[in-house]
Amino acid sequence: MLVLGIESSCDETGVALYDLDAGLLAHQLHTQMAMHAEYGGVVPELASRDHIRRAIPLTEACLAEAGKTLADLDAIAYTQGPGLGGALLVGASVANALAFGLNIPVVGVHHLEGHLLSPLLAEPRPDFPFVALLVSGGHTQLMAVRGIGDYEILGETLDDAAGEAFDKTAKLLGLTYPGGPMLSRLAEEGDPKRFTLPRPMLHADNLDMSFSGLKTAVLTLAREQEAAGGIDDATRKDICRAFQEAIVDVLVSKSLKALKQSGMKKLVVAGGVGANKQLRAALDAAASRHKLEVFYPPLALCTDNGAMIAFAGAMRLKFAQTAGGFAIKPRWDLASLPAV
């Protein structure tokens, strides 16, 4: 079964072809980062218009990359939500129009389910059950995953998502949008010992997290440094490092706690912040200390992409035989999905 996947929930148009037997055959991505950079954040109307421009050419590029034609498709999967309403409508319209024209099934995929299952696109593949650490720009959750659609939220951020904290902190340090990856690059060259920032809720007796106070702590530190003579490049890198150390510490500690509480031995990391090198290194080190296994998506599939949507759609069609129709759900709770 050959599935075309279309992702258009935010500022990336991703299209991919996933075959149940042959695996991922092609994936194409256009990021709107440069377009939104001059506004300092995503402008929803511009995002929608750009998805319209990109969806069909990326689909054609995917088919060419895989040596396939539209006639070879067996189904189409698209991101149904959560995300920006207008942006979602573009993917939903293209997917449904193509599927109607080709007379094949169409399935609406939950964006976070796409992220959650994306580590199954890498080798070795984790078997169910596992604990998932979902760390994206909009969500930070720890989940017990017992099968496709069987997701129990164990803990989550009470305010900002980890990616959001990276982006907001980057902005207040004067880094250009989207600041997360840039902040993390600067942090790699920073001194981990020079500044220490608070680890919110680290010792709380639950799996919830809170990251909004961290950006305020960074702001206070930056002001102190400014008053003490200004922030040179080295100091900026050291502040970035202190911020990253704090976030990574909390994410690693809460992940270990989730594994312990659930009695599971496998951790799966998904979402944009899963691309963070320091987080990966810290999780790998903790895993080898505690005899646990950690799984990641391929690096290129950590942030938004069409491959995870094609894959999740293929899984739903294969195991649940659910075909959707035309709908978007800008707000959509992952735990409400039916298990298969």
Q: Is 245 in the site for Zn ion (CB under 5 A)?
A: no
Report the alpha-carbon distance of residue 82 to residue 112 in Å, rounded: 8
Stretch that binds ligand KG4, among 135-143, 250-258, 314-322, 324-332 (CB under 6 A): 135-143
Interactions with Zn ion, residue window 284-313 (CB under 5 A): 304
Q: Is 272 in the site for ligand KG4 (CB under 6 A)?
A: yes
Report the alpha-carbon distance of residue 314 to residue 327 in Å, rounded: 18
Task: Say which residue the tokens 């997290």 belong to.
Answer: 209
Among 121, 304, 317, 332, binds ligand KG4 (CB under 6 A): 304
Report the alpha-carbon distance of residue 138 to residue 107 in Å, rounded: 23
Q: Is 167 in the site for Zn ion (CB under 5 A)?
A: no
162, two tokens: 């980890």
Q: Is 136 in the site for Zn ion (CB under 5 A)?
A: yes
Stretch that binds ligand KG4, among 98-106, 122-130, 133-141, 227-235 (CB under 6 A): 133-141
DSSP-assigned letters across all residues of 117-139: HGGGGSSSPPPSSEEEEEE-SS-
Among 81, 108, 126, 178, binds ligand KG4 (CB under 6 A): 178
Which listed option, ligand KG4, Zn ion, none, makes contact with residue 7 (CB within 5 to 8 Å by class)?
Answer: none
Q: Is 93 in the site for ligand KG4 (CB under 6 A)?
A: no
Q: Is 163 in the site for ligand KG4 (CB under 6 A)?
A: yes
Q: Is 248 in the site for ligand KG4 (CB under 6 A)?
A: no
Please, what is the angle between helix 179-188 and helix 162-172, to 10°? 80
Using CB atoms within 10 A of its CB, is residue 211 exposed (0-12), middle (13-18) or buried (19+)?
buried
Using CB atoms within 10 A of its CB, is residue 286 exposed (0-12), middle (13-18) or buried (19+)?
middle
Binding site for ligand KG4 (CB under 6 A): 115, 136-138, 163-164, 166-167, 178, 180-181, 184, 271-273, 275-276, 303-304
